[in-house]
Amino acid sequence: MSRPVLVLVGPMGVGKSTVGALLAERLDSGYRDTDEDIVTAEGRTIAEIFVEEGEDAFRALEKAAVHRALGAHDGVLALGGGAILDADTRALLAGHRVVYLSMDVEEAVKRTGLNAARPLLAVNPRKQWRELMEARRHLYESVATAVVATDGRTPEEVTQAALDALELKEA
């Protein structure tokens, strides 16, 4: 069974995809994103799944995608922002190198514009983002081996901070 070299968690828009690809390059490993796995398997966007089937149906797809990826991928793995809501997923992350990429609401506004393409932020995005983070922050922290703040940092700086935090050597 394969095992990811590291797993990235954090809120939507924090840069998991960008930093994940950079980490994979620096570690000479593959990169995989469970949100991309879901979109590819379902043939539609995550927003479409939310609208057509609801959040519970999406979370079931997400859980299955994360569990498959944790057992089959040996590179850098990025999880969707809400993947850590599932207790089984949190339990599976135990023993993995997990980096929680964090950011504050002002950084989130700058990066995502908190736009309507994010289904959980469709109405009053700033307030909803704060509420999401209040509900999720402790879950991200509970699975994290290391926490890397992304505020005011370039993707390259975040990548280096993650490598340093985990004491990983580049390939």
Phi-psi region of 114 (alpha: psi -120 to 50; beta: other; left: phi over 0): left
139 within domain boundaries: yes
pLDDT greater at residue 73 or residue 167? 73
CATH number assigned to the domain comprising residue 112: 3.40.50.300
* pLDDT per residue as tens digits for the range 20-60: 999 999 999 999 999 999 999 999 999 899 889 998 999 99
Residues ≥6 apart with Cβ < 8 Å to 81: 10, 11, 12, 14, 132, 136
Half-sphere exposure of 55 (CA within 13 A, CB side): 9
| E strands present in the chain | 6-9, 31-33, 76-78, 98-102, 146-149
81 within domain boundaries: yes
pTM: 0.87
Task: List the domain range (segments joined by +) for residue 106.
Answer: 6-166
Confidence at residue 120, expressed as pLDDT on a 0 to 100 scale: 52
Q: Total domain count for the chain?
A: 1
171 within domain boundaries: no
Cβ neighbours, 10 Å, residue 119: 16
Q: Give CA torsion, residues 137, 150, 127, 54, to 10 deg.
A: -70
68 within domain boundaries: yes
List residues bridging with 36 in a β-sheet.
none
